[in-house]
Structure 1
Amino acid sequence: MNLLRLDASILPTTSSSAQLADLAEAEWHAAHPTSTITRRHLATDPLPAEAWALAATAGFTPEAERTAEQADALRLAADLAAELQHADAVLLAVPLYNFGVSQHVKTWIDLIIAGAGPTNPVLAETPTALITTLGGGYGPGTPREGWDHATPYLRRILGEMWQAELTVITRELTRAASDPAMEGLRDLADQQHANAQAAARAAGKVLAGR
């Protein structure tokens, strides 16, 4: 058994998304203590920003005419796609940044599409948990309702395009504890945190097949 864990926080030592992912991972590890966990941290070890363009253009270039950089990018794309396809379960911890996914996450997704092909359901029948954390509130009736452009996009890629058996855990209001302007939301933030912790543990059990 192999769990692929992907993190994307630019603040890994204080990451809310990583803390929740740790709970899910612990449940998976408890069920599979001798199995493998493959880790990829897109923020601390980012993929080359130019790799996707090189891999994409290489696909339209005869092999004999490809540059060394294009060949390297194609190999990277193929390796990332294989890493994902070989996982028995997938755990992603992806914070919301500037109302969307970070460039690191987008590069990872684009390279996998380049390596596996745009119609390849690379996560078909693979239990997958997406943990996403948001500093503010983006739900119905909030001033920024509809401003979360990350979660719908990730649902579309993971669940619809790649056909994962997807569970989504969301924790909003992560800035409430430190932002004086959000003091009135701290009780709600604490409840959302507790709910997300319970959901992360439950998702870990689903990943583990329990």
Structure 2
Amino acid sequence: MATLLHIDSALVPDESASASRAVTAAFAKSWLEQHPEGKIVYRDLAASPVPHINIAAVGAGADDPLRAELAAELAEADAVLIGAPMYNFTIASTLKAWLDQVIINGFNSGPDSKVTDTPFTIVASRGGSYAPGTPRESFEFVQNYLEKVLTGMLGITDIDFIVPELTLAHSVETMSELIPLAEASREKAHTDAAEKAKALAARFVA
């Protein structure tokens, strides 16, 4: 039985009002439909945030109870799904806190990492567009940061991004002309979530 570790970090609790939660929910639903015997371990970092790391936890490493629990969830996961909306050009502080707690040098970080082959799917939603060639391309610190920290600290080799963008087009008057593009991006994100989840689940079906 394969396990999907599903993490949400959007501040908005309702998936009908949160682009990242809606897409991660669609991904998880498709994954279970294809792999009904699978298991999902879920963490909502907005509803139940983990504490920011302190010097005692750093010193304790994998002997710290919370860090050990989080690291065990990661180690036992066959795949990881993260909802990572953009706030002020980067990830939510709750997601950063989770990363700081779960990455333990000498335990799952470094040359002997046991999670290098774990596939990560990240839903990186954002209110505007930060795609290559756009005026704000250089302000994109969600995909860039997560790719660097996951590859550089955990040695992850399989990272896939789903990027619903222009999510503020419906609520910001000056972006109203971008609504068709926002709708197209939303539709593509949901399609990608269903298809990528299906493909991922197929890896674990005997």
Q: The TM-score by the shorter chain falls in which range?
A: 0.7 to 0.9
TM-fit CA distance, 1:208: 0.6
Correspondence for 1:67: none
User: What are the superposed Cα offsets for residues 161-204 of structure 1, whole Å, 9 maximum, x if unpaired?
Assistant: 32142211111100001111101111111111111111111221
Greater alpha carbon shift after TM alignment, 129-138 vs 143-152: 143-152
Aligned residue number for residue 135 of structure 1: 127
Q: CA RMSD in A?
A: 2.0
- Partner residue in 1 for 2:103: 113
Identity %: 35
Q: For 1:109, give the aligned amino acid.
A: L
TM-superposition CA deviations, 1:12-31 (whole Å, max 9, x none): 20211010111111121012
Point out where structure 1 has 5 or more consecutive residues left out of the alignment: 60-70
Aligned length: 197
Deviation at 1:154, TM superposition (A): 0.6
Q: State the one-letter code of the partner of 1:149.
A: F
1:34 to 33, 37, 47: 37
Residue 122 of structure 1: how far off its partner (Å): 4.5
Aligned to 1:4: 5
Whether the 8 Å CA contact 2:127–2:169 is kept in 1: the answer is yes
Q: For residue 150 of structure 2, what is the aligned residue in structure 1?
A: 158
Deviations 1:27-67 (A, max 9, x none): 21012213221100111100112x343311445xxxxxxxx
Q: How does 1:15-34 map onto structure 2 within 5 Å?
A: 15-34=18-37
The farther-off stretch of 155-164 and 199-208 is: 155-164
State how far apart, in whole Å, the 2-side matches of 1:140 and 1:31 are: 34
Q: 2:86 aligns with which of 82, 91, 96?
A: 96
Distance 2:157 2:22 in 1: 23
What amino acid maps onto 1:7 in structure 2? D
Q: Which residue of 2 aligns with 1:65?
A: none
Q: Deviations over 1:60-91 (max 9, x none)?
A: xxxxxxxxxxx7xx221111111101001111
Deviation at 1:206, TM superposition (A): 2.7
Paired residues for 1:23-102 under 5 Å: 23-49=26-52, 51-58=53-60, 74-102=64-92
CA contact (8 A) 2:86 2:142 kept: yes
Q: Is the 8 A contact 1:129 1:207 kept in 2?
A: no
Query: Would you say the 8 A contact 1:2–1:38 is kept in 2?
Result: yes
SS of 1:12's equivalent? coil
Q: Distance in 2 between matches of 1:122 and 1:164?
A: 12
Q: CA deviation at 1:114?
A: 2.8
TM-score, normalised relative to structure 2: 0.87
Q: Which has the larger radius of gyration?
A: 1
* 2:81 and 2:121 in contact (8 A); partners too: yes
One-letter amino acid matched to 1:166? I
Deviations 1:67-119 (A, max 9, x none): xxxx7xx2211111111010011111110111111111111111112373531
Are the structure 2 counterparts of residues 209 and 161 from structure 1 closer, same or farther at C-alpha, using a change threshold of 3 Å?
A: farther
Aligned mates of 1:124, 1:164 — CA distance in 2: 6
Provide structure 2 residue ranges, at least 5 long, that are not aligned to the other structure.
none
